[in-house]
Amino acid sequence: MIRVVVNSGAEEGAAAARLLGLAALAPGEVEAVDMADLGGLGLSGYLREAYDVAEAALAGDAAALDALEGRVFLVFSAAFGGLGARLVPEPGVRVFGPYAEARAASALPVPAPREEPVQLAPPVQRSVAGPPLRVPLALLALVGLPVLALLIWWLS
């Protein structure tokens, strides 16, 4: 939910809470917008483009929102810490809204939950045995050559 609070020349952050008659607002949940920066877009266009607020939700207030001048505070529902709050705005402060942000549908399909748990293969256990036994070529030559010589001598 977005509430639009209007006041010319007010400081940011704590000033928005004071203007609404609140002790405090959660940090980072108030956006100050200078209406001159919006140009021809207007506040209703900004809310549609930046926050995906439905045009139908803004229809009743669009002309008044676009006619605003000075600094505007956008106060998000998270600024109230998940609790309800009673706004008691200071004299000269006009409150518009609340306006709900549209929920964008995911482009990716959501997988259906599995009925059975996923079974993972057990981890591969490596043996702790040493390196394979290798007979050095020199040892084979030392034993093999005399045996070969005896075999040739015996056959001749």
Q: For a pLDDT cut of 90, what percent of the chain falls above it?
A: 8
- Type of residue found at 156: S
Q: Is 37 inside any structural domain?
A: yes
Q: How many domains are contained in the chain?
A: 1
Asked whether 4 and 79 are in contact (CB, 8 A), the reply is no
Q: Is 81 inside any structural domain?
A: yes
Q: In the predicted model, what is the mean pLDDT of the chain?
A: 78
Q: How many CA atoms lie within 13 A of 80 on its CB side?
A: 16
> Can you give the residue range of the structural domain that contains 50?
2-99
pLDDT tens digits, 4-43:
555 543 356 677 888 888 888 887 788 888 888 888 889 9
Which whole-number Å values give the CA distances from 117 to 32, 109, 122, 145, 147, in the listed order? 49, 21, 15, 64, 64
pLDDT tens digits, 122-152:
777 776 666 655 667 677 777 888 888 888 8
- Type of residue found at 34: D
Q: Is 109 inside any structural domain?
A: no
Q: Is 59 inside any structural domain?
A: yes
Q: Is 151 inside any structural domain?
A: no
Q: Is 128 inside any structural domain?
A: no
Q: Is 21 inside any structural domain?
A: yes
Alpha helices (H) in the chain, listed in sequence order: 14-20, 35-38, 42-51, 55-58, 62-66, 137-155
In this predicted structure, what is the pLDDT of residue 45?
Answer: 92
What is residue 103's three-state secondary structure?
coil
Asked whether 80 and 23 are in contact (CB, 8 A), the reply is no
In this predicted structure, what is the pLDDT of residue 8?
Answer: 41
Q: Is 120 inside any structural domain?
A: no
- Type of residue found at 104: A
